[in-house]
Amino acid sequence: MHDLPAAEALRKAAAAARRLARRCAREPRALDLLTALACLALMALDVPGLAAEDNSLNGAMATLVLAAGAATLLLRRGAPWVPFLIALVLLGWLHELTLAQFALYSLARYRGRLAGAVGVVLYVTFAYVMFTLPGWPVHRGDTLSEFLSLVVPIGALAAGVGVAANRQDLVRALQAQRAETQALQAVQQERLRIARDVHDFVGRELTLLSVRSQVLARRAAHGPCADGFDELSETARSAHRMLNEIIVQRGVDGAPTPGLAALPELAAASGRAGSPVELVVDGAAYRLSPLRQAAVHRVVQECLTNAAKHAPGAAVEVWVRVAGGRLRVTVRNALPAGVSGPDPAGSAPVSAGTGTAGMAERVRTVGGTLSAGPRAGAYVVEADLPTGNLT
């Protein structure tokens, strides 16, 4: 029983260390500073030997020299050759190998495999020259075999780890670029869908306007307003033709995006898939324009798809409310098992991906905003947009 507080303290310390590591990963300068401090801490172990045998420096001067050498690691991202050259200086002067490990790793990671290989060759060659000169310390290798077994693995291993990290960086960069490209493609596809909806909805109204104008023109035949009705009908037809020319290559086939009347069908389909939906829609919302109803439908459709994909079986709550000239859409579903808290660190968002970019683009086209993220043990998507003129 007495071990429980200690175990709890260890868990808290491990969690704090993980949070610090994630924060440092997001702050490159902080990570570089920690790297330099770690290198200095390792080199500080050699300070007594440096002051006693290798040179005439006392302990304080040796510490300052090593601190200056470790500080060059702050330049390792933009100028990794600087710490590498300083490492060679310390190798020749103080026979210090620690900085060379960090420098070779940094060189390989931030300049690639070729630079890492060149660095290893230069490092081993320089170290061998120092070994053949008088004054090489015994603890750094008395015979050639001992020297090679110490120096070569240090350089090769450090550069090899750096090359592996460089490849991981490239993979992450490619993944980020691919995700960005997919998000842009999703936005473009949503814009094409919006163009199709505008074409269908507005084109229908223009057609009705043209027909009604022709009817009124016939009723007012030979009257003073007949020419005006004919002109209005021709203007509507011209606008419809122009709309067709603008969106003729919209590239998305199919029927226009349905409106609020199709939400019960979406909810029923989600329930059949194992994710029950509680749907609440204000009556006033059915008086929204077709484009705004289509925006609501797209938001709800994407949220239900994401909930089924990332939190299967979780109940989903959907509210569509109209108040104060604003339309608010809220979709809420529980986070997957094992993910909790208001902002679960390290967990993938339940509703992230290209669909979110498409939803945001659809909402922006009608003057609204969209937010999505974990909140109080659930994933919440909120859209806020003006109602416009209710029909």
| CATH number of the structural domain spanning residue 378 | 3.30.565.10
Least confident interval from 54-68, 241-255, 258-272 = 241-255
* Within-domain flag for 162: yes
Claim to verify: residue 265 and residue 159 sit in the same structural domain? no
* Token pair listed for 21: 């590591």
pLDDT tens digits, 223-243:
677 667 666 766 766 665 665
* Within-domain flag for 132: yes
* Within-domain flag for 218: no
Claim to verify: residue 272 and residue 153 sit in the same structural domain? no
Claim to verify: residue 27 and residue 163 sit in the same structural domain? yes
* Within-domain flag for 240: no
Q: Sorting pLDDT into bands at 50, 70 and 90, what band is 270?
A: confident
Q: What is the pLDDT of residue 114?
A: 92
Claim to verify: residue 271 and residue 159 sit in the same structural domain? no
Task: Name the residue with higher pLDDT: 92 or 201.
Answer: 92
For the chain, the farthest-separated pair of C-alpha atoms sits apart, in whole angstroms, at 118
Q: What are phi and psi of 274, to 5 degrees?
A: 105, 5
The distance in angstroms from the start CA to the end CA of the chain is: 70
CA 183 to chain centre: 11
User: Tokens 């980020």 identify what position?
Assistant: 176
β 378-386/326-334 pair status: antiparallel
- List beta partners, residue 195: none
pLDDT tens digits, 311-367:
888 899 999 999 888 999 999 998 876 555 444 443 344 444 556 777 887 788 788
* Token pair listed for 52: 């006693």
State the average pLDDT for the chain: 78
* Within-domain flag for 266: yes
* Within-domain flag for 134: yes
* Within-domain flag for 2: no
Rounded to 5°, angle at Cα 166 from 165 and 172: 85
What domain count does the chain have? 2
Using the 3D structure, point to which of 114, 147, 179 is the last residue of a domain.
179
Claim to verify: residue 273 and residue 376 sit in the same structural domain? yes
Q: Would you say the C-alpha torsion 221, 225, 230, 236 has a positive or negative sign?
A: negative
Claim to verify: residue 173 and residue 322 sit in the same structural domain? no
Q: Please tell me the chain's helix, strand, coil percentages from 3-state DSSP, rounded to the nearest 5.
A: 70, 10, 25
Q: Sorting pLDDT into bands at 50, 70 and 90, what band is 174?
A: confident
Q: Which amino acid is at 21?
A: A
* Token pair listed for 142: 């008395």
Sheet containing 316-323: order of strands: 277-281, 316-323, 326-334, 378-386, 369-375
Residue 337: exposed, middle, or buried by beta-carbon count in 10 A (0-12, 13-18, 19+)? Answer: exposed
Structural domain range at position 284: 260-386
Using the 3D structure, point to which of 179, 206, 225 is the last residue of a domain.
179
Claim to verify: residue 174 and residue 270 sit in the same structural domain? no
* Token pair listed for 16: 């704090």
pLDDT tens digits, 3-56:
556 677 777 777 777 776 666 666 788 888 888 898 888 888 877 766 555 555
* Within-domain flag for 252: no
* Token pair listed for 146: 């001992």
Residues 38, 40, 46, 50, Cα dihedral to 10° = 170
Cα–Cα distance list, 102 to 30, 105, 130, 156, 277 (Å): 16, 5, 20, 12, 55
Collect all residues with Cβ–Cβ distance below 8 Å to 237 and sequence separation of at least 6: 206, 210
Residue 228: exposed, middle, or buried by beta-carbon count in 10 A (0-12, 13-18, 19+)? Answer: middle
Cα–Cα distance list, 20 to 32, 102, 310 (Å): 14, 21, 28
Claim to verify: residue 27 and residue 175 sit in the same structural domain? yes
Using the 3D structure, point to which of 135, 153, 179 is the last residue of a domain.
179
Contact criterion met (CB below 8 Å) for 190 and 362: yes
- List beta partners, residue 380: 332, 373
* Token pair listed for 43: 């080199």
Collect all residues with Cβ–Cβ distance below 8 Å to 326 and sequence separation of at least 6: 384, 385, 386, 387
pLDDT tens digits, 116-131:
999 999 999 988 888 8
Neighbours of 217 (CB within 10 A): 19
Contact criterion met (CB below 8 Å) for 381 and 331: yes
